[in-house]
Amino acid sequence: MKEVVLLAGTRPEAVKIAPVALALADHPVLRPVIVRSGRDAGVVEQSLRSFGLAATVELDVPGRTGGPAGLPARLVAQFDRVLHRRDPAVVLVQGGTTTALAGALAAFWRGIPVAHLDAGLRAGDLAGPFPEEGTRQLIARIATLHLAPTDDAAAALLAEGMVDRRIVVTGNTVVDAVQRVAAADLPARHPDLALLERVLDERSERLVLVTVHRRESWGRPLDRVLHAVRAIVDRHPDVRVLLPVHPDPRLRAAARDALGGHERIVVTGPLDYSDFVRALRRAALVLTDSGGVQEEAPTFGVPVLVLRDTAERVAAVDAGCAWLVGTDPIRIVAEAGWVLGSRLRLPLGHNPFGDGRAASRVRGALERLVGLPGDFSTASLPLRIPC
Ligand code: UDP
């Protein structure tokens, strides 16, 4: 057997590698091994569990200790020990996190090919999103295989001089993930979500789902967003808000201070992925600064207002599935009013990020990367997704 190490340090990494791990689960030669760094250990485990998965290796690198240089240094050293012990055929990293960079560096220095999932996302400005934009570019320089989610991402990689035959357009595995979990249609686990669903049904009210967690939003931008959320609920008496908050205590405190006590606003901790997908599916509107949520929402035709000034997921904006509104409360309230007032719903089945078969394309590309003979037709399928 040849091992494929899949790294997850944060929740979106866990969600996006999960379909790949499942696609490799029955492989006759490639064995998926999930390694999680200690960063967001709780939410990573929570996300993996929603797919019936768990990490095989758990690194002991807690939270955000050690500052911007200390964390990657500790991660690289620990990954290196894992790679030395396991000698995998490939290391697959996702996105632009510190975990992904550390894993890619450790593998690169050991001469192990790096496969980069979600490669080629570019905002075009090293200053924002910081440090993801730079981290993604650094990983691209040392990756052997670029698994680009869209044609635009592949074009960005080509423009930076990456070799064409090393780029495979796969679609985004998050679409596989969201489709799979939605199809399972598990009942709500979190009691607050179960109660909220009952109330929404009984009163024929609508749900606005809000997530806001990015570092660049912390402080004043976050306060402005939360202020806007309260104003939206006050202006729309048939609307309830669900805000699952990231575990960071500063975010929790800000949410509690701004929204606590409002009878039509429910603030919870992070939801299980299956619960989150349930909420997303029935939402009338999503307000988010999350990249992953922007990629998931079009599967259910839910309009998204993106609480950022720039976005590297331009496909959603270009396709008319999402609108960049920034963090100005006046703008957020006005745009939300437009979506809610017009009862806007987007066409179903047109997710510009993927068709739900990305993981099988990734599997084919990995087979080819490690030199396995066989049918690689799935890896070479051209992917053109209309929206
Ligand atoms: N998510 C989740 N539970 C929650 C909130 C989000 O499972 O309470 C999922 C969401 O569906 C998406 C991912 O977490 O797949 C997004 O993670 P996050 O917003 O932390 O990161 P980003 O996408 O901005 O990198």
Q: How many other C-beta atoms can be found within 10 angstroms of the C-beta atom of residue 127?
A: 11
Where residue 153 sits, what CATH number does that domain have?
A: 3.40.50.2000
pTM of the entire predicted model: 0.93
178 lies in a domain?
no
User: Quick check: is 18 in a domain?
Assistant: yes
Q: Verify that 28 and 134 share a domain, yes or no.
A: yes
Same domain, yes or no: 117 and 256: no
Measure the CA–CA gap between 99 and 131, rounded to whole angstroms: 12
The answer on 276 and 194 residing in a single domain is: yes
Give domain status of residue 380, yes or no: no
DSSP 283-306: EEEEEE--HHHHHHGGGGT--EEE
Q: Is residue 200 part of a domain?
A: yes
Residues 220 and 101 in one domain: no
- Are 37 and 79 members of one domain? yes
3-state secondary structure of 27: coil
How many domains is the chain partitioned into structurally? Answer: 2
- pLDDT tens, position by position, for the chain (387 residues)? 999 999 999 999 999 999 999 999 999 999 999 999 876 788 999 999 999 999 999 998 766 666 778 888 999 999 999 999 999 999 999 999 999 999 999 999 999 999 999 999 998 888 878 899 999 999 999 999 999 999 999 999 999 999 999 999 999 999 999 999 999 999 999 999 999 999 999 999 999 999 998 777 788 889 999 999 999 999 999 999 999 998 888 888 999 999 988 999 999 999 999 999 999 999 999 999 998 999 999 999 999 999 988 766 667 888 888 999 999 999 999 999 999 999 888 887 789 999 999 999 999 999 999 999 755 444 444 343 333
pLDDT of residue 142: 97
Q: Which residue is closest in CA terms to ligand 1's atom 11?
A: 293
Q: Of all protein residues, whose CA lies closest to atom 17 belonging to ligand 1?
A: 12
Q: Which DSSP symbol is given to 271?
A: P
Q: What is the pLDDT of residue 66?
A: 67
- Let me know: does 92 contact 14? Beta carbons within 8 Å: no
CA of 118 to the centre of ligand 1 (A): 15
Distance CA 332, CA 230 (A): 11
Is 32 inside any structural domain?
yes
Dist. CA 377 → ligand 1 center (Å)? 32
Domain of 324 in residue numbering reads as 190-342
pLDDT at 381: 40
Instruction: List the structure tokens of 110.
Output: 């050991």
Does a structural domain hold residue 202?
yes
* Cis-peptide into 129, omega within 30 deg: yes
Residues 209 and 326 reside in one and the same domain: yes
Q: Is residue 179 in some structural domain?
A: no
Shared domain for 242 and 274, answered yes or no, is: yes
Q: Please indicate, yes or no, if residue 376 is contained in any of the structural domains.
A: no
Atom of ligand 1 nearest to the CA of 244: 8
Residues ≥6 apart with Cβ < 8 Å to 263: none
Residue nearest to atom 24 of ligand 1 (CA): 290
**What does the pLDDT read at residue 374?**
58
Contacts of 183 (CB under 8 A, 6+ apart): none
User: Which tokens go with 177?
Assistant: 């993930």
C-alpha–C-alpha distance, residues 23 and 30, integer Å: 10
CA atoms within 13 A of residue 112's CA, in its CB half-sphere: 26
Q: Which two tokens stand for residue 29?
A: 């030669």
Residues 200 and 167 in one domain: no
**Based on the domain organization, do 163 and 297 belong to the same domain?**
no
- Asked if 233 and 242 count as a contact pair (C-beta separation under 8 A), the reply is no
Contacts of 92 (CB under 8 A, 6+ apart): 4, 5, 6, 7, 17, 20, 114, 115, 116, 117, 362, 366
Ligand 1 midpoint to CA 65 (Å) = 22
Query: Residues with Cβ < 8 Å from 129, sequence gap 6 or more?
Result: 96, 123, 214, 216, 308, 310, 312
Residue closest to 243 by CA, chosen among 205, 198, 291, 293: 293
Q: Which of 262, 226, 235 is nearest to 336 (CA)?
A: 235
Q: Same structural domain for residues 328 and 238?
A: yes
The ligand 1 site (C-beta within 6 Å) comprises 11-12, 15, 47, 174, 211, 213, 244, 270-271, 273, 276, 290-293, 296
Contact 376, 367 (CB under 8 A): yes
Question: Any alpha helices (H) in the chain, and if so which ranges?
Answer: 11-24, 41-49, 67-86, 98-109, 132-142, 151-159, 173-184, 191-203, 220-235, 249-259, 273-282, 291-296, 314-318, 329-342, 358-369, 377-380
- Return d(Cα 354, Cα 150) in angstroms, integer: 8
Task: Please tell me the residue having the least CA distance from ligand 1 atom 9.
Answer: 273
Same domain, 264 and 119: no
- Which is the closest atom of ligand 1 to the Cα of 273? 7
Residues 218 and 337 in one domain: yes
Q: Give pairs for 179-186: CB < 8 Å, separation 24+.
A: 179/299, 179/356, 180/19, 180/22, 180/51, 180/356, 181/50, 181/51, 181/273, 181/274, 181/277, 182/277, 182/281, 182/299, 182/300, 184/274, 186/274, 186/278
State the distance from the centre of ligand 1 to the C-alpha of 244, rounded, in angstroms: 10
Rounded distance from Cα 227 to ligand 1 centre (Å): 22
Rg for the chain, CA atoms, rounded: 20
Cα 46 to Cα 12, 49, 229, distances in angstroms: 11, 5, 27
133 Cα: distance to centroid of ligand 1 (angstroms):
19
